């Protein structure tokens, strides 16, 4: 195939290079400058090179025209992550006083095509800000999240729009639908925390409600980490924290019925460790056995971790029992140290790298909760 045309991969239309278009003959393309001795040159396609050579020429000439706007669309198709192209496109939109509703439609189509690209979402945010019209954003993000419930960019955009334009009113209902559909959707759990933190906040009444909500969801899948981490976040706002008697009593009951969820055992370990720090070491022997059970049976993939926790607890226990020794420092078993808020209370980070849903062997969870 000659240099003058090639088949467009997306729609099979004949592509004419910019260098061969009569309406672009007045502009001299500017090749990319990789220096005199590039170490690893990227093998750009002829089409890519042609488009970006002319884009550099347009920027160099500060041209803001209809043809320049069309050129940015081609450049974006070749590389939707190019920040400079998006920024220059916005400058053209302003210079030409273009219809931003049309641009909103354009970027909506791009988001559906490149939903995990930061720049497309950033462009969408700026256009919404210029228009001051967030009406379509919840529907758009819901559409993307229906395809991928953990799309970080969609969640970020959704949090931005509901907080900027105060669209919280129906968000808990939306989140409830997601969690009911998939109780392991940790992104939805994070969003639940975000919404409550920005609306009612965690008043004593809300804490009580959320503890009960967690209890219901934990009973569905006790080995699912998401509600356990959310529960820890809720207890940050309880008067007694992890020692909340409602939660401790229920978890002890769950354990007595034979539930061996690593997250349940980790919680009970932390409760006993906190008590030990306050001088009550009565539960530490049981904690050491729980660590052993986790290391050898229930959470073998983190065997070394639980052995370390057991050693640390034992050493601290021995130091506390030694009148001449200094008080020991007990560890926390919360492997997600990020269950907290930032200064504005905006973000709670839930599971980092643990795989949810399954026990170590990937078998279905045994039902140890029928009588709870």
Using H for helix, E for strand and C for coil, what is the string for 20-38?
A: HCHHHCCCCCCCCCCCCCC
Whether 212 is in a domain gets the answer yes
Whether 178 is in a domain gets the answer yes
The catalytic residues are: 116
Domain membership of residue 276 as a residue range: 168-372
Interval 121-174: pLDDT, tens: 999 999 999 999 999 999 999 999 999 999 999 999 999 999 999 999 999 999
Domains identified in the chain, total number: 1
d(CA 177, CA 246): 26
pLDDT of residue 117: 96
Whether 333 is in a domain gets the answer yes
Whether 297 is in a domain gets the answer yes
Whether 183 is in a domain gets the answer yes
Interval 171-222: pLDDT, tens: 999 999 999 999 999 999 999 999 999 999 999 999 999 999 999 999 999 9
Residue among 29, 10, 117 nearest 71 (CA): 29
List of the chain residues with pLDDT < 50: 1-10, 325, 327, 337-364
Read off the CATH number of the domain in which 253 is found: 1.25.40.120
d(CA 107, CA 103): 6
pLDDT of residue 97: 98
Whether 123 is in a domain gets the answer no
Whether 359 is in a domain gets the answer yes
Whether 261 is in a domain gets the answer yes
Q: How far out from the chain centre does Cα 46 lie?
A: 37
H or E element that contains 16: strand 14-16
């Amino acid at each position: 195939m000659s240099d003058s045309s090639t088949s467009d991969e997306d729609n099979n239309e004949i592509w004419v290079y910019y260098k061969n278009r009569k309406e672009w003959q007045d502009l001299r393309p500017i090749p990319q400058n990789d220096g005199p001795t590039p170490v690893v040159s990227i093998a750009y396609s002829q089409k890519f090179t042609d488009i970006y050579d002319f884009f550099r020429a347009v920027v160099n000439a500060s041209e803001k025209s209809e043809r320049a706007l069309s050129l940015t669309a081609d450049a974006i198709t070749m590389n939707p992550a190019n920040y400079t192209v998006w920024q220059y496109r916005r400058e053209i939109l302003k210079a030409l006083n273009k219809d931003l509703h049309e641009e909103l439609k354009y970027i909506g189509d791009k988001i559906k095509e490149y939903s995990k690209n930061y720049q497309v979402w950033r462009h969408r945010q700026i256009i919404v800000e210029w228009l001051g019209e967030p009406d379509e954003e919840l529907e758009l993000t819901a559409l993307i999240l229906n395809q991928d419930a953990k799309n970080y960019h969609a969640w970020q955009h959704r949090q931005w729009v509901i907080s900027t334009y105060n669209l919280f009113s129906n968000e808990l209902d939306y989140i409830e639908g997601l969690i009911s559909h998939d109780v392991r959707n940790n992104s939805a759990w994070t969003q639940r925390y975000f919404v409550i933190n920005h609306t009612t906040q965690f008043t004593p009444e809300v804490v009580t409600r959320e503890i009960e909500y967690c209890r219901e969801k934990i009973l569905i899948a006790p080995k699912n980490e998401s509600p356990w981490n959310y529960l820890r976040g809720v207890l940050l706002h309880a008067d007694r924290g992890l020692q909340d008697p409602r939660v401790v009593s229920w978890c002890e009951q769950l354990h007595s019925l034979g539930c061996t969820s690593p997250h349940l055992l980790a919680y009970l370990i932390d409760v006993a460790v906190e008590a030990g720090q306050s001088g009550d070491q009565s539960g530490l022997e049981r904690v050491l056995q729980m660590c052993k059970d986790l290391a050898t049976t229930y959470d073998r993939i983190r065997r070394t971790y639980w052995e370390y926790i057991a050693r640390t607890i034992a050493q601290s226990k021995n130091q506390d029992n030694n009148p001449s020794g200094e008080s020991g420092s007990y560890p926390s078993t919360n492997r997600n140290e990020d269950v907290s808020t930032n200064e504005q209370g905006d973000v709670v980070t839930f599971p980092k790298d643990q795989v949810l849903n399954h026990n170590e062997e990937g078998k279905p969870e045994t039902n140890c909760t029928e009588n709870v």
